[in-house]
């Protein structure tokens, strides 16, 4: 059907992409009384819900339980014949994703949001053309259009994934059998989570990282502790390394790399996971043609998610870091509320967005690292508390890790918090709230923490920063 034969559907606001940025934007717009549509080419919930955040956490929970069973004797328990079924583990993950995706569809109906299936392109100011299999199926117009199309895995030229031997995250989430050996290229959160998952089930894991330490976005102390912990589990790491060649056979991949000492290495692996970052999904959207600016492939926006084109906005992973689902959702709400003309709005501060890695041990952080603060010329006070000294951690048998806090020595402002250990992805929110409320160091020190809890380590870390630690 030709585009000119289609009626132009009019809305107050249209969202392109139904991931955690897009569907949240649509719901908030509908709540504020806007006639809203959302356009999605594949899955409600986007990559995060269907192929990222949620299903990977399901996989990692299975790994955590299986790993705990291996240490049952430490708790006075006797378990024999423990085994796993990778197909059931994957099925559980996929079932959870499908259930949640259905939940998003329900929310669209509940909020009376028009859902249009297809690929949207900005065809003119304030207008979108929606296609399915290159056939135009709808034309849509709105004074406000929010793009939330996310990002896709970055590909190394000459080492493109084939989906069989060389995987992206999507294939790594749905294995039909476990590889005996695995090479993970890249040690950010995605690479480390998969490395941790596969190692839990006995796969020999090697990680190659181009930068000088793993988890390079984390505080240096956390990176060092994480590498020590992962090495205890039998994982191998090469940091400051360059992947020189990847030769793919039918069932194997032969890799060669050079370490930070310029020493050559090579190995044969059953599978390879490329986790070297992502690229914003902007191709074919008509953004540049209509005047939207890009910087290194990412859409340029101001603090309210506005692009250079009036009435066109962008949120989430297609814009600047941090590339996290919760950041996308939060800035989507701010964007919509700004469009609606609400008062007393506050732009999102990227440094207030917590980051979490759900490996074993877990890693979580918010705000500046110690080095970032020093690089800005700030005189800092640093507190640190090891979980080995924590009663609850000993009772749980989870003493690997610590909590680290960074304060401005002059003002007492909490600049950052960094954690590694059991359930720290839950604990970090305490510091996020403290930062948001501009809580002083005195208020944190005078706050009562329940005993025995893992959160006591948070208190002790603050006390340590001001030479008042009780248990260290």
Partner residues linked to 116 by β-bridges: 39
Q: Would residue 472 count as lying in a domain?
A: no
Q: Would residue 157 count as lying in a domain?
A: no
Over the stretch 11-39, which tens digit does the pLDDT of each residue have?
Answer: 999 999 999 999 999 999 999 999 999 99
The C-alpha atoms of residue 208 and residue 272 are separated, in whole angstroms, by 11
Q: Would residue 331 count as lying in a domain?
A: yes
Q: Is 451 among the catalytic positions? A: yes
- pTM, whole model, 2 decimals? 0.94
The C-alpha atoms of residue 331 and residue 19 are separated, in whole angstroms, by 13
Structural domains of the chain, count: 3
pLDDT at 410 over 80: yes
pLDDT at 5 over 80: no
The C-alpha atoms of residue 355 and residue 428 are separated, in whole angstroms, by 9
Q: Would residue 225 count as lying in a domain?
A: yes
The residue annotated as part of the active site, out of 265, 418, 451, 471, is: 451
Q: How confident is the model at residue 4 (pLDDT cuts 50, 70, 90)?
A: low
Do 173 and 306 lie in one domain? The reply is no
Q: How confident is the model at residue 386 (pLDDT cuts 50, 70, 90)?
A: very high
Q: What is the mean pLDDT of the chain?
A: 95
Do 136 and 20 lie in one domain? The reply is yes
Q: Would residue 399 count as lying in a domain?
A: yes
The C-alpha atoms of residue 287 and residue 297 are separated, in whole angstroms, by 12
Residues in the chain: 472
User: Where is the domain boundary, 276, 302, 327?
Assistant: 276
Do 257 and 333 lie in one domain? The reply is no
Supply the range of the domain harboring residue 266.
166-276
Over the stretch 358-379, which tens digit does the pLDDT of each residue have?
Answer: 999 999 999 999 999 999 999 9
Asked if 108 and 38 count as a contact pair (C-beta separation under 8 A), the reply is yes
Across residues 158-182, what is the average pLDDT? 94
**Domain CATH code at residue 101:** 3.50.50.60
Helix (H) or strand (E) holding 267: strand 264-269
Share of residues in the chain with pLDDT > 90 (%): 93
Do 323 and 394 lie in one domain? The reply is no
Do 139 and 21 lie in one domain? The reply is yes
- Which of 15, 9, 10, 87 is CA-nearest to residue 44? 15
Q: How confident is the model at residue 49 (pLDDT cuts 50, 70, 90)?
A: confident
Do 271 and 284 lie in one domain? The reply is no
Q: Would residue 51 count as lying in a domain?
A: yes
Over the stretch 208-253, which tens digit does the pLDDT of each residue have?
Answer: 999 999 999 999 999 999 999 999 999 999 999 999 999 999 999 9
pLDDT at 1 over 60: no
Do 130 and 31 lie in one domain? The reply is yes
Do 255 and 288 lie in one domain? The reply is no
Do 269 and 283 lie in one domain? The reply is no
Across residues 302-313, what is the average pLDDT? 98
The pLDDT assigned to 51 comes to 83
The C-alpha atoms of residue 406 and residue 109 are separated, in whole angstroms, by 45
User: Where is the domain boundary, 276, 297, 324?
Assistant: 276
220 to 241, 363, 371, 397, 404: CA distances (angstroms) = 18, 12, 8, 25, 11
The pLDDT assigned to 168 comes to 87
Do 107 and 204 lie in one domain? The reply is no
Q: Would residue 346 count as lying in a domain?
A: no
Q: Would residue 417 count as lying in a domain?
A: yes
The pLDDT assigned to 3 comes to 44
Q: What is the token pair recorded at 61?
A: 């929970």
Across residues 384-413, what is the average pLDDT? 97
pLDDT at 46 over 90: no
**Domain CATH code at residue 377:** 3.30.390.30
Do 176 and 241 lie in one domain? The reply is yes
Do 328 and 377 lie in one domain? The reply is no
SS3 209: coil
């Amino acid at each position: 059907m030709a585009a000119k034969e289609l009626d132009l559907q009019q809305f107050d606001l249209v969202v392109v992409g139904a991931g955690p940025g897009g569907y949240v934007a649509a719901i908030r717009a509908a709540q504020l009384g806007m006639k809203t549509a959302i356009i999605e080419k594949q899955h409600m919930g986007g990559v995060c819900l269907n192929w990222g955040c949620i299903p990977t956490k399901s996989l990692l929970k299975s790994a955590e339980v299986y790993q705990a069973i291996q240490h049952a004797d430490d708790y006075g328990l006797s378990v024999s014949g423990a085994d796993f079924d990778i197909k059931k583990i994957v099925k559980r993950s996929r079932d959870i994703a499908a259930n949640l995706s259905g939940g998003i569809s329900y929310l669209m109906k509940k909020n009376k949001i028009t859902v249009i299936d297809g690929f949207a392109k900005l065809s003119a100011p304030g207008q979108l053309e929606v296609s399915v299999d290159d056939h135009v199926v709808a034309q849509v117009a709105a004074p406000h259009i929010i793009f939330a199309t996310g990002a896709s895995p970055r590909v190394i030229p000459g080492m493109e994934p084939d989906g069989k031997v060389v995987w992206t995250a999507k294939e790594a989430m749905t294995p039909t059998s476990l590889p005996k050996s695995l090479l993970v290229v890249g040690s950010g959160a995605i690479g480390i989570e998969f490395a941790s998952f596969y190692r839990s089930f006995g796969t020999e894991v090697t990680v190659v990282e181009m930068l000088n330490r793993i988890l390079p976005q984390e505080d240096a102390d956390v990176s060092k502790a994480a590498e020590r912990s992962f090495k205890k589990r039998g994982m191998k790491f090469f940091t400051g390394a360059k992947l020189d060649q990847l030769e793919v056979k039918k069932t194997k991949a032969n890799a060669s790399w050079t370490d930070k000492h310029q020493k050559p290495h090579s190995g044969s692996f059953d599978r390879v996971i490329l986790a070297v970052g992502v690229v914003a999904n902007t191709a074919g959207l008509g953004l540049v043609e209509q005047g939207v600016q890009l910087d290194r492939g990412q859409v340029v926006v101001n603090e309210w998610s506005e692009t250079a084109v009036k009435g066109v906005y962008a949120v989430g992973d297609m814009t600047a870091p941090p590339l996290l689902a919760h950041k996308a959702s939060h800035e989507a709400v701010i964007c919509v509320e700004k469009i609606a003309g609400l008062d007393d709005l506050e732009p999102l501060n990227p440094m207030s967005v917590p980051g979490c890695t759900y490996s074993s041990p877990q890693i979580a952080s918010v705000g500046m690292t110690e080095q970032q603060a020093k690089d800005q010329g700030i005189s800092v006070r640093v507190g640190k508390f090891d979980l080995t000294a924590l009663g609850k951690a000993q009772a749980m048998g989870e003493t690997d890790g610590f909590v680290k806090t960074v304060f401005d020595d002059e003002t007492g402002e909490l600049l950052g918090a960094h954690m590694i250990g059991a359930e720290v992805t839950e604990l970090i929110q305490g510091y996020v709230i403290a930062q948001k409320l501009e809580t002083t160091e005195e208020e944190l020190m005078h706050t009562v923490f329940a005993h025995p809890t893992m959160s006591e380590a948070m208190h002790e870390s603050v006390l340590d920063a001001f030479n008042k630690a009780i248990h260290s």
